[in-house]
Amino acid sequence: MPLAIETFKNGVGGSSLYKALTHPLAAGAARELVARLEAAGAVALYDPDNVISAFDAFYPLTDVKIAGLYVQNVTHLGARFAGHAARPVTALPQSKCRALFIASFDEARALRQIGHLIPDGAQVFSFESLKLPADMLSEPARYLSTLNFATNFVFFRDAGGHHTRLVSANYWTRYGAKDVHVWCRLFDARGRELATWTQNCPDPEGSLVIDSAEVRARFRLPEFTGQLFVHVIGTAGHDVVKYALDTYGDGPGVLSQTHDANSWPSDLYAGLPAPDVGEEVVLWVQNSHPSPIAAGEIGLGLMGGNHVAYLDDTIGPFATRRLGVAELLPEARWPAQIEIHAGKHIVRPRYEVFAANGRSRISHPNVERDDLKSDPAIAGLGAYFGKGFILPAPVLPPARYRSVMLPTPMSTAQTHLPVKALIYQSSGALVAEERLGNLPRGESVALDLSRIAGGKLYEAGGHVELVYDFDAGEVADGWLHALFRYTDLRSGHVAETSFGAHIFNSPLVWRGEPQSYSGSPPGLSTRLFLRLAPAPLETICHLTYPVSDAWHRESTTHFILMSGRGREVARRAVNIPASGSLLWRVSEYFDAATLKAVGPYSYVIIRDETCRLFGYQGAFAADGSFGFDHMFGF
91-145 per-position pLDDT tens digit: 999 998 999 999 999 999 999 999 999 999 999 999 999 999 999 999 999 999 9
Tell me whether residue 351 is exposed, middle or buried, using C-beta atoms within 10 angstroms of its C-beta: 0 to 12, 13 to 18, 19 or more.
buried
Q: Which residues contact 313 (CB under 8 A, 6 or more apart)?
A: 295, 321
Does 139 map to a domain? Answer: no
pLDDT in tens, 589-598: 999 999 988 9
* Under 8 Å between Cβ of 407 and 439: yes
How far apart are the C-alpha atoms of 129 and 482, rounded to whole Å? 45
Query: Do 161 and 115 fall into the same domain?
Result: no
- Please give the helix or strand (H or E) that residue 26 lies within, else none: helix 24-39
Query: Do 263 and 382 fall into the same domain?
Result: no
Strand partners, 369: 411
Query: Do 383 and 357 fall into the same domain?
Result: no
Q: How many domains does the chain have?
A: 3
pLDDT at 7: 76
Residue finishing a domain among 364, 388, 410? 364
Helix (H, G, I), strand (E, B) or coil at 205: coil
DSSP line for 517-543: SSSSSP---EEEEEEPPPTTSEEEEEE
Query: Do 117 and 207 fall into the same domain?
Result: no
* Under 8 Å between Cβ of 388 and 378: yes
Q: Which residues contact 306 (CB under 8 A, 6 or more apart)?
A: none
Query: Do 501 and 592 fall into the same domain?
Result: yes
Does 464 map to a domain? Answer: yes
Residue finishing a domain among 364, 390, 413? 364
* Under 8 Å between Cβ of 381 and 307: no
Query: Do 324 and 405 fall into the same domain?
Result: no
Q: What is the CA radius of gyration of the chain?
A: 26
* Under 8 Å between Cβ of 321 and 327: no
What residue type is assigned to position 78 of the chain?
G
pLDDT at 10: 56
Q: Which residues contact 276 (CB under 8 A, 6 or more apart)?
A: 333, 334
pLDDT at 8: 61
Tell me whether residue 590 is exposed, middle or buried, using C-beta atoms within 10 angstroms of its C-beta: 0 to 12, 13 to 18, 19 or more.
buried
Strand partners, 352: 282, 362
Does 2 map to a domain? Answer: no
Query: Do 428 and 500 fall into the same domain?
Result: yes
Residue finishing a domain among 95, 130, 165? 130
Query: Do 570 and 500 fall into the same domain?
Result: yes
Q: How open is the CA angle 47-52-55, to the nearest 5 degrees?
A: 145
Please report the sign of the dihedral spanned by the C-alpha atoms of residue 593, residue 594, residue 599, residue 600.
Answer: negative
pLDDT at 12: 47
Does 140 map to a domain? Answer: no
Distances (CA, A) of 500 to 165, 385, 410, 478: 25, 17, 9, 9
Q: In this structure, what CATH number is given to the domain that contains residue 105? A: 3.40.50.720
Query: Do 50 and 187 fall into the same domain?
Result: no
Does 444 map to a domain? Answer: yes
Query: Do 94 and 185 fall into the same domain?
Result: no
pLDDT at 263: 83
Does 609 map to a domain? Answer: yes
Does 1 map to a domain? Answer: no
Task: Report the C-alpha dihedral over residues 579, 584, 590, 596, rounded to 10 degrees.
Answer: 140
Residues of the chain with pLDDT under 50: 12
The whole domain housing 50 covers 8-130
* Under 8 Å between Cβ of 282 and 354: yes
pLDDT at 460: 84
What residue type is assigned to position 66 of the chain?
I
HSE-up (13 A, CA, CB side) for residue 360: 18
Query: Do 150 and 292 fall into the same domain?
Result: yes
Q: Which residues contact 423 (CB under 8 A, 6 or more apart)?
A: 395, 430, 431, 432, 433, 434, 449, 452, 453, 457, 462, 463, 464, 465
If you count them, how many residues does the chain have? 634
Query: Do 356 and 477 fall into the same domain?
Result: no
| Helical H segments across 299-342, by residue range | 325-328
Does 491 map to a domain? Answer: yes
* Under 8 Å between Cβ of 484 and 384: no
How far apart are the C-alpha atoms of 178 and 180, rounded to whole Å? 6
**What pTM was estimated for this model as a whole?**
0.94
Tell me whether residue 459 is exposed, middle or buried, using C-beta atoms within 10 angstroms of its C-beta: 0 to 12, 13 to 18, 19 or more.
exposed
HSE-up (13 A, CA, CB side) for residue 494: 21
Task: Report the C-alpha dihedral over residues 168, 171, 173, 176, rounded to 10 degrees.
Answer: -150
